[in-house]
Structure 1
Amino acid sequence: MTIDLFCQVVDNYGDIGVCWRLAQQLNESYPVRLWVDDLSAFARIEHHIDPTATTQIVNTITVLSWEVASELQPAPIVIEAFGCDLPADYLGQMPQHTQLWLNLEYLSAETWVEELHLLPSPQPNGISKYFFFPGFTAKTGGLLRPSSYNPASTSTALPAWQSMGLSAPTTDRIAFVFPYPNAPLSVLYEALAQHPESWTVLLAATAPDPQLSSYQKERLTIQRLGFIQQADFDALMDYADLNIMRGEDSFVRAIWAAKPFIWQPYLQEQNTHLEKLQAWLTHTPFDRAIQQLIYDWSSLQLNADQLLKHLLHLSDWQQQCRNYAHNLCLQDNLATQLIAFCSQKCQKAVK
């Protein structure tokens, strides 16, 4: 039973980041063909990808460009990530070959997700498409989780600093910062500079250039990251003392790092992103002060004293994050639930 997983790169790296993780986990059960419309973006997080090759095998997974969609027979199981529109020629061939079609939706903690999870939707080509929602509760599809993950023994291995173009930090603490452009980074720099311990900020390639005062330049070490491999990205999150992450892929991986973290959702009109953020926060075991801190980061109301207060009690914050990761591990992960659902539906189709 082959799975075709389609990824349309919209937000540069979040979409392909999720799909690459998912493809590798699904491939442990069924052969996977990963279709990607922007191989150049993929190559920036996976150095084995050749952006000029329309067909290639990486980590035993067949990676295909959308350009060849009309040349190959659709798989028995088709997963479209985040509601991407499948190629027209491929859609036309699906009724003869495909038993199950799923739309893997964006992650949300909002209550309506539980109501729509696994509902079918008839499509013009005659196949029903099922909506599969990741989530934080037992009534959703769960979260992508690293294989053999154990929250009691999260990795603290030294990252490969030199291969990432970095010098090994010599400061007391490390902050890994992958923000959206509107993030209140000036507040972060002010709080870190006032902290009694020294800090290195690992700043993602897409972040704005830091604007530091003379005092902050003396107190902080800033290292600018280039585009790094997904495995290196994960290693930095596991090693850092504070992670500030954006989007969906890095958000979920920050949860499993079990380190103090702030999540910034994608900016939306009418502050819809803040509603999404609040829905998630209410599902966490974080105390009200930590919840307010994370909310204020995205609502741009955070002040340096507020952040510094929590940085001075990192061990308490980290324990809350460890407890959260442990609680979420009680739920079957996304790949496991997807495989179970596909097996169930395909067995019924055969009967």
Structure 2
Amino acid sequence: MPLPPHARTSALWDIFCRVIDNHGDLGVCWRLARQLAERGQQVRLWVDDASALDWMAPGARQGRVDSVRVLPWADSLSPGVLAALPLADVWVEAFGCEIAPEFIAAGACLSGARGQNGIENPPPVWINLEYLSAEPWVERMHALPSPVLHGPAAGWTKWFFYPGFTPRTGGLLREPDLPARQAAFDRAAWLRGQGIEWQGEPLVSLFCYEPPALGEWLAQLREAPAPTRLLATAGRASAAVLSSENSLQRPPVKREQLSISYLPYLTQPGYDHLLWSCDLNFVRGEDSLVRALWAGAPFVWHIYPQHDDAHHAKLEAFLRWLEAPASLADFHRVWNGTAPGPLPAPDLPVWRACALAARQRLLAQDDLATQLLRFVAEKR
């Protein structure tokens, strides 16, 4: 659905991000900021730890990305800084982080003042951008209001906005030119650029926490009848593989079928290229799951583990939406430690058909940035 004309006008957005789950929270917020900027919006991204942007989006912290300013979270509490800031049209609290009371108070003062045109500044459209889930309650909660009852912003409204996989949710982040870029991608050239001497063997990417079944899976790859090259991403995934490798006692003569390449930290486009290069992708958290869905290759999701096991129901809801075949669903459960048993053998043709069907369903829906722009235009 195209945006109405008033949704295409420029607005000033404040996006707030606290980095909790390694790089995923910041990755999502940066993608959103970029996509809004590319659609004519001005964005201030307030973040408590922006260091990962140095490799994720080089130049971002230095202000070299048009229409996006990256600002330290601490400045949102500073009276001197706040007094000099124009009031934003939109506030976005990403993943349940809470805007500083000082920032809210400053915004409340500005919203009651009159601008140069003599018209009173309206309060910003205040959005609580939630975590991604396929659970049924997401459709019921999406776009519901939450009245602000206390403090300087009493009487305002905060809106719940849920990303999701169905037309009754807020959708997923997707750049308009993503399919065209993927169609033009040269896999062999990208691998050469990474120093990977690819001989046509199956490629598997690994981006994970510390999955319970990692050791068993690596052993299967070593003893498989055909060779596989594993591309391990920097950070926890590489550390987990190295830990597993160092704990092994190998037979001295047996030839192994597994080759491992340890990658440096990749930019966000570089990570897409990794996913597009591989025949099977292991992903984790939220941001990389969405990118794996757009890649259209077979994938396995390592869901963020929660202490109360709430991630079990979240995983099962996603597998139902995905219409995962039995082998893929069982692999997910063992990989995530939600069910016992050996890892089933991957059935890549069947898994690929599942991934492509899921991508096709998602491509028929409006993306998250488009839906946010429309929602904000309706509320302003």
Return the letter of the residue paired with 2:92: I
SS of 1:40's equivalent? Answer: coil
For 2:114, the equivalent position in structure 1 comes to none
Change over 3 Å in CA distance of 1:152–1:232 after alignment to 2: closer
Q: Is structure 2 residue 206 aligned with structure 1 residue 177?
A: yes
For 2:178, the equivalent position in structure 1 comes to 149
Q: Indicate if the aligned counterparts of 2:161 and 2:170 stay in contact, CA closer than 8 A.
A: yes
For 1:118, the equivalent position in structure 2 comes to 143
For 2:89, the equivalent position in structure 1 comes to 76
250, 257, 276: which one pairs with 1:214?
Answer: 250
Q: Is structure 2 residue 364 aligned with structure 1 residue 326?
A: no
Identity within the alignment, %: 36
Return the letter of the residue paired with 1:317: W
State the Cα distance separating 1:225 from its structure 2 match.
2.0
State the Cα distance separating 1:339 from its structure 2 match.
0.5
For 1:62, the equivalent position in structure 2 comes to 69
Distance 2:341 2:86 in 1: 52
For 2:32, the equivalent position in structure 1 comes to 22
Distance 1:91 1:217 in 2: 63
222, 241, 252: which one pairs with 2:290?
Answer: 252
Change over 3 Å in CA distance of 1:58–1:112 after alignment to 2: same
Moved over 6 A (4+): none
State the Cα distance separating 1:163 from its structure 2 match.
6.0
Change over 3 Å in CA distance of 1:141–1:214 after alignment to 2: same
Change over 3 Å in CA distance of 1:334–1:340 after alignment to 2: same
Distance 1:104 1:267 in 2: 20
SS of 2:178's equivalent? Answer: coil
Pairing 1:66-105 to 2, within 5 Å after superposition: 66-69=73-76, 70=78, 71=81, 72-95=85-108, 96-97=110-111, 98-105=123-130
Q: Indicate if the aligned counterparts of 1:4 and 1:74 stay in contact, CA closer than 8 A.
A: no
For 1:44, the equivalent position in structure 2 comes to 55
16-25 vs 85-94, greater mean Cα deviation? 85-94
Q: Indicate if the aligned counterparts of 2:37 and 2:66 stay in contact, CA closer than 8 A.
A: no
Distance 1:27 1:171 in 2: 39
Q: Indicate if the aligned counterparts of 2:322 and 2:354 stay in contact, CA closer than 8 A.
A: no
State the Cα distance separating 1:269 from its structure 2 match.
2.0
Distance 1:10 1:217 in 2: 41
For 2:132, the equivalent position in structure 1 comes to 107
Q: Indicate if the aligned counterparts of 1:151 and 1:325 stay in contact, CA closer than 8 A.
A: no
Return the letter of the residue paired with 2:57: E
Q: 1:164-212 CA deviation, whole Å, 9 max, x = no partner?
A: 5x43433511110011113421122122234333111111221211325
Pairing 1:206-285 to 2, within 5 Å after superposition: 206-207=236-237, 208=240, 209=242, 210-211=244-245, 212=248, 214=250, 218-285=256-323
Change over 3 Å in CA distance of 1:44–1:278 after alignment to 2: same
Identify unmatched segments of 5+ residues in structure 2.
Answer: 1-10, 112-122
Q: Indicate if the aligned counterparts of 1:77 and 1:100 stay in contact, CA closer than 8 A.
A: yes
Return the letter of the residue paired with 1:27: A
Q: Indicate if the aligned counterparts of 1:154 and 1:257 stay in contact, CA closer than 8 A.
A: no
State the Cα distance separating 1:149 from its structure 2 match.
3.4
Pair member with larger Rg: 2
Change over 3 Å in CA distance of 1:67–1:89 after alignment to 2: same
Q: Is structure 2 residue 349 aligned with structure 1 residue 338?
A: no
Q: Indicate if the aligned counterparts of 1:243 and 1:259 stay in contact, CA closer than 8 A.
A: yes
Distance 2:181 2:20 in 1: 35
Change over 3 Å in CA distance of 1:135–1:48 after alignment to 2: same
Distance 2:42 2:181 in 1: 31
For 2:342, the equivalent position in structure 1 comes to 303
SS of 1:150's equivalent? Answer: helix
17, 20, 25: which one pairs with 1:7?
Answer: 17
Return the letter of the residue paired with 1:38: D
For 2:157, the equivalent position in structure 1 comes to 128
Distance 2:374 2:126 in 1: 14
SS of 1:175's equivalent? Answer: strand
40-49 vs 103-112, greater mean Cα deviation? 40-49
State the Cα distance separating 1:147 from its structure 2 match.
2.2
Change over 3 Å in CA distance of 1:163–1:37 after alignment to 2: farther
Distance 2:340 2:282 in 1: 16
For 1:349, the equivalent position in structure 2 comes to none
Q: Indicate if the aligned counterparts of 1:246 and 1:264 stay in contact, CA closer than 8 A.
A: yes
Q: Indicate if the aligned counterparts of 2:211 and 2:302 stay in contact, CA closer than 8 A.
A: no
TM-score when normalising by structure 2: 0.82
Aligned length: 336
Change over 3 Å in CA distance of 1:37–1:139 after alignment to 2: same
Q: Indicate if the aligned counterparts of 1:187 and 1:302 stay in contact, CA closer than 8 A.
A: no
Q: Indicate if the aligned counterparts of 2:319 and 2:329 stay in contact, CA closer than 8 A.
A: yes
291-300 vs 32-41, greater mean Cα deviation? 291-300
Identify unmatched segments of 5+ residues in structure 1.
Answer: 347-351
TM-score when normalising by structure 1: 0.88
State the Cα distance separating 1:222 from its structure 2 match.
0.9
Distance 1:18 1:214 in 2: 41
